[in-house]
């Protein structure tokens, strides 16, 4: 796509990397990449960090490493003022863009945010994780031009996808990449032309809260399907759902509801029913049935009869 307009990508997340790669392969030209170093990502606890340096090298795109993830450093502000970009595309940036940065863009910054319902429902943090935890069955990706507030820009397009029983956060993020690439391939030229319309968000605002590592602690007295939803919502690249067994931390990466009929009154929630001979899988009792754990990490051997707390 040949244009005199300048497009900048700001991103540091593996999902954004997938999106930007697809856009580059389809002729979208970026003037600059803005990202952060791995050290800064670790310091800021960015889950799913990925460097964009490899893509930048292949496509000969200069890279600017932000001095602050918030982009509030004087040098970051000066960079955007000097470059005078027209349009900003996100490649995964888990911070609000300051108003002073947005004001340097002649067209604006494309915001992408999803929820199980239309914005303003579901603004805020970790909407994919929350939707899986809540057992939602659809997800709406919404595309808007950013304002300084939280996901409050006027919308120019939306797309719906299923959240099915096999999905986890990784597959929903993949849907995000594939759907958003198709949308932006179409709409970036439209936005650059100026021939587009937007519409305001309607209704009462609802916000999801920030999740922390501690929120991944499993309560084995919850229903088996609630525990399954937690596991699939915060599997890799997130820290994972966890418990304790024999005094050691256990992180559960993959699991599935096993059965709601073969239950027993003699066992209590969190008690291990069965362990595979190779110790790589086990079945554990929950409320309402049992859970088959297919992938986990633990520093101690486990046995049938052990209690996970």
Report if residue 277 sits inside a domain. yes
Would you tell me the crossing angle of helices 14-25 and 169-193 to the nearest 10 degrees? 40
Whether residue 304 is contained in a domain is answered as: no
Looking at the 3D structure of the chain, how many domains does it have?
A: 2
CATH code, domain with 257: 3.10.25.10
Rounded to 5°, the CA angle 94-97-98 comes to 140
Domain around 15: 7-208
String of b and e for 136-170 (b: at least 16 CB within 10 Å)? Answer: beebbbbbbbbbeeebbbebbbebebebeeebbbb
User: What is the enclosing helix (H) or strand (E) of 64?
Assistant: strand 63-65
Name 307's bridge partners. 271
Q: Are residues 148 and 269 in the same domain?
A: no
Triad 171, 175, 180: Cα angle to 5°: 150
Query: 174: domain CATH number?
Result: 3.40.50.170
CB 11 within 8 A of CB 90: yes
- Do 177 and 224 belong together in one domain? no
Measured in whole angstroms, the distance separating CA 243 from the mean position of its chain's CA atoms is: 23
Domain boundary among 184, 208, 232: 208
State the sign of the Cα–Cα–Cα–Cα dihedral 19, 25, 31, 36.
positive
Give the C-alpha separation, 222 to 285, whole Å: 11
Residue 1 located in a structural domain? no
List the pLDDT tens digit at each of the 309 positions of the chain: 556 899 999 999 988 998 999 999 999 999 999 999 999 999 998 888 999 999 999 999 999 999 999 999 999 999 999 999 999 999 989 899 999 999 999 999 999 999 999 999 999 989 999 999 999 999 999 999 999 999 999 999 999 999 999 999 999 999 998 999 999 999 999 999 989 999 999 999 999 998 999 999 999 999 999 999 999 999 998 999 999 999 999 999 999 999 999 877 889 999 999 999 999 999 999 999 999 999 999 999 999 999 999
Strand partners, 49: 13
One domain for residues 165 and 218: no
pTM: 0.88
Q: Nearest CA to 106 among 211, 235, 196, 5?
A: 5
Considering the domain architecture, whether residues 118 and 99 belong to the same structural domain is answered as: yes
Structure-token pair, residue 107: 């067209």
What is the C-alpha end-to-end distance of the chain, expressed in Å? 56
- Domain final residue, candidates 208, 241, 264: 208
């Amino acid at each position: 796509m040949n244009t005199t307009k300048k497009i900048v990508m700001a991103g540091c997340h593996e999902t954004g990397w997938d999106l930007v790669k697809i856009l580059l392969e389809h002729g979208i030209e970026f003037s600059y990449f803005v990202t952060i170093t791995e050290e800064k990502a670790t310091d800021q606890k960015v889950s799913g960090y990925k460097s964009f340096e490899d893509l930048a090298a292949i496509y000969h795109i200069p890279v600017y490493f932000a001095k602050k993830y918030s982009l509030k450093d004087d040098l970051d502000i000066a960079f955007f003022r000097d470059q005078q970009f027209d349009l900003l595309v996100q490649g995964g940036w888990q911070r609000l863009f300051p108003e002073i940065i947005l004001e340097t863009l002649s067209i604006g910054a494309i915001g992408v945010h999803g929820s199980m319902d239309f914005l303003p429902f579901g603004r805020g943090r970790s909407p994919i994780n929350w939707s899986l935890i809540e057992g939602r069955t659809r997800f709406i990706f919404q595309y808007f031009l950013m304002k300084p507030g939280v996901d409050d820009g006027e919308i120019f397009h939306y797309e719906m996808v299923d959240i099915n029983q096999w999905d986890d956060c990784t597959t929903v993020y993949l849907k995000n990449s594939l759907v958003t690439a198709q949308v932006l391939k179409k709409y970036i030229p439209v936005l650059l032309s100026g021939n587009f319309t937007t519409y305001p968000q309607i209704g009462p605002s609802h916000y999801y809260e920030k999740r922390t590592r501690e929120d991944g602690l499993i309560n084995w007295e919850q229903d088996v399907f609630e525990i399954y939803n937690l596991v699939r919502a915060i599997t890799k690249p997130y820290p994972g759902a966890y418990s304790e067994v024999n005094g050691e931390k256990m992180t559960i990466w993959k699991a599935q509801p096993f059965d709601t009929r073969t239950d027993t009154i003699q066992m209590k929630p969190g008690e291990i029913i069965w362990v595979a001979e190779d110790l790589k899988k086990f079945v554990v009792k929950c409320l309402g049935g049992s859970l088959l754990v297919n992938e986990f990490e633990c520093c101690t051997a486990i046995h049938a009869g052990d209690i996970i707390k």
